[in-house]
Amino acid sequence: MARLLPFMISLGLMACSEGARDSTTPTRTITDEQGREVQVPLHPTRVFADSATGFDLMVALLEPDQIAGVVSTALRYSLTTGSLEHWEALPNPAGFHAADILALNPDLVLLSDWRPPTVPNLLQRQGICILRLPTPTSYAGLTELIRFSAEALDAVDRGTELIADLNRRRATLANNSVLAEERVLSYGNYGAGGSCAGEDTAYDLLIELSGMQNAAAEFGLVGNGPLDLEQMLRMDPDLLLLSEAEDGGHSPTLEWLLGQSAARQVRAVREERWVILPVNLHSTSSHHIMDAAETLARETRALLKGKDS
């Protein structure tokens, strides 16, 4: 009976939420970049996001009172929460569970493309519209993500302004020829094996926007995958793109690399050529990729200037 209790509570919450929700909310049909038709509310009023990507887009495109809540882990990785602490007062369930989401009575849920279908399918059966957000791996994909999200959120004008701002910032970064030959490797190792980001990844887009080259893509790697030290030595990147620890202050990956004699033979390690980004900036897959690219470019220019002086 003890094992059945959480399930019974979940069913009860779902039933209560379903009864409170207005199933007559008018909807409209939009088309995603792959030509698939998606049903969304005519004018979304209570939107929920399962990730930092969705939350970043909601904050950029919606009024605060249109945001029903966000998964607590997404708040930790969002670029918004660093300067807008009041967002933390939003309902923020600890995980992506149907009962918690239904209790918020959303009319639209922004969903990561990696999310398994079980809970989203259940939410749809309860009459909630679902919008899957693809992870951008190219600039065209990033602007399409914003355009599609803005259309779904009934915020086309804000989306247009956001894309125009990104276009201006992209052009500014592209004018910096000093960084054009720098080969960057986005790398992570937390003691269980190294991994990197090759072509067709959000990190590939980040590096491209910064005006530099992705060493892993040049090496022929596609997607996010494992990378051993032998491969890194053959790749011999000019610069490493690393992440801080979850609580900030240091990079576990850098600490691991400095403890490996083979890794110290890699140029970027030997010459101390690395950029360490905060976790939320390092992991972003929203329009804040531009913020990450600008930070990477700025810190690399400072690094190169320091080495030359």
Question: pLDDT tens for residues 150-159?
Answer: 999 999 999 9
As a whole number, mean pLDDT of residues 47-74 equals 92
**Which of 41, 34, 50, 54 shows the shortest CA–CA distance to 118?**
50
pLDDT tier for residue 24 given thresholds of 50, 70 and 90: low
Instruction: Tell me how far apart the alpha carbons of residues 96 and 205 are, in angstroms, rounded to a whole number.
Output: 28
In this structure, what DSSP letter does residue 222 have?
A: B
Pairing outcome for strands 67-70 and 47-49: parallel
Percent of the chain exceeding pLDDT 90 equals 73
Q: Which of 214-223, 240-249, 287-296, 299-308 has the lowest mean pLDDT?
A: 299-308
Q: So what's the pLDDT on residue 7?
A: 38
**Average pLDDT, rounded, for the chain:** 88
Q: So what's the pLDDT on residue 82?
A: 56
Instruction: Tell me how far apart the alpha carbons of residues 2 and 129 are, in angstroms, rounded to a whole number.
Output: 33
Enumerate domains of the chain plus CATH numbers: 17-169 (3.40.50.1980), 178-308 (3.40.50.1980)
Which residues make beta-bridge pairs with 39? 29
